């Protein structure tokens, strides 16, 4: 049986993980998974069902109970995948400001991380994949063929997030986005379980001032060094 190839891309919020991962997956004809959508799905479900975000036991029970499906996109509206919770398409609803403000708190719960990590590893067993998140290279796929850690300045990441929110007419406020990113960085880097840190064997790529294509080309260079070429 052909051994599947796994590429891990980690980094803080708005560092370019999804944009880069999607483009790289197209070049390689790999599957793509942004693991963050799973934590967003749990966060959205908690808000919708009235489970307090600070109720660790309640949120963890919810994570074990709901069915999260990540499927190929069925609508041409900019989505990368369909994200379904218990059969309902909630692809865009999991990206509201309220979810943005609470997802890092949900993602620090050990049981939630355990449940979703198992789902992510199962997906990676069956197909060549680009998987992006906060702990892919360190926890989820420590055996990944290539591990990339994307970095970008706070200002650059805030600008990107502001433009994303403005395109979706979400009432973006630049200063609020700056504060939200600071808070998320603090939570992600200081949590006890799977903190946001580069894997020891990760390649650090700074995305400041670089286009998505430039970053993808840089990663392709590292892949070539590992005897795997990107398609033209």
Question: For residue 16, what pLDDT is reported?
Answer: 93
Q: For the chain, what is the mean pLDDT?
A: 92
Query: What span, in angstroms and rounded, lies between the C-alpha atoms of 72 and 80?
Result: 7
Q: Which residue in 10, 29, 33 sits closest to 230, CA to CA?
A: 29
DSSP state, 131?
E
In the structure, what pLDDT confidence band is assigned to residue 45 with cuts at 50, 70 and 90? very high
Indicate the CATH number for domain 6-224.
Answer: 3.40.50.300
Q: What is the maximal distance between C-alpha atoms in the chain? A: 51
In the chain, what is the straight-line distance between the N-terminal and C-terminal CA atoms, in Å? 27
Question: For residue 232, what pLDDT is reported?
Answer: 53
Query: What span, in angstroms and rounded, lies between the C-alpha atoms of 114 and 95?
Result: 23
Mean pLDDT of 176-201: 91
Mean pLDDT of 157-182: 86
Give the start-to-end residue ranges of the domains of the chain. Answer: 6-224
Mean pLDDT of 17-26: 95
> pLDDT tens for residues 70-125?
988 899 998 888 999 999 999 999 999 899 889 989 999 999 999 999 999 999 99
High-pLDDT (> 70) share of the chain, %: 96
CB 131 within 8 A of CB 10: no
How deeply is 33 buried, as exposed, middle or buried, from its count of CB atoms within 10 A (0-12, 13-18, 19+)? Answer: buried
Query: What span, in angstroms and rounded, lies between the C-alpha atoms of 122 and 224?
Result: 27
- pTM (2 d.p.): 0.87
DSSP state, 68?
E
**H helix or E strand, kind and range, residue 147:** strand 146-151
Q: Please determine, for residue 1, whether its predicted confidence score (pLDDT) is greater than 60.
A: no
> pLDDT tens for residues 116-154?
999 999 999 989 999 999 999 999 999 999 999 999 999
H helices of 77-211, in order, are 97-107, 110-124, 154-167, 174-190
DSSP state, 124?
H
Chain Cα centroid distance, residue 131: 8
């Amino acid at each position: 049986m052909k051994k599947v190839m796994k590429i891990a891309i980690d980094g803080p919020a708005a560092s370019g993980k999804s944009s880069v991962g999607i483009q790289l997956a197209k070049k390689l004809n790999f599957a793509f998974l942004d693991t963050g959508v799973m934590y967003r799905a749990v966060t959205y479900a908690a808000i919708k069902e009235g489970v307090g975000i600070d109720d660790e036991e309640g949120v963890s029970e919810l994570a074990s109970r709901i069915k999260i499906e990540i499927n190929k996109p069925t609508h041409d509206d900019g989505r990368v995948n369909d994200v379904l919770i218990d059969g309902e398409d909630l692809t865009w609803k999991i990206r509201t400001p309220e979810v943005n403000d609470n997802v890092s708190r949900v993602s620090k719960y050990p049981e939630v991380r355990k449940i979703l990590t198992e789902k992510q590893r199962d997906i990676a067993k069956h197909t060549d994949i680009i998987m992006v998140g906060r702990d892919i290279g360190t926890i989820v796929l420590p055996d990944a063929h290539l591990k990339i850690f994307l970095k970008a300045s706070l200002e650059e990441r805030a600008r990107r997030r502001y433009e994303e929110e403005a395109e979706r007419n979400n009432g973006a406020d630049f200063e609020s986005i700056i504060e939200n990113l600071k808070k998320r960085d603090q939570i992600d880097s200081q949590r006890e379980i799977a903190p946001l840190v580069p894997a020891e064997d990760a390649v650090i790529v700074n995305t400041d001032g670089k286009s998505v294509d430039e970053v993808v080309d840089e990663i392709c260079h590292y892949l070539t060094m590992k005897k795997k070429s990107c398609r033209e």
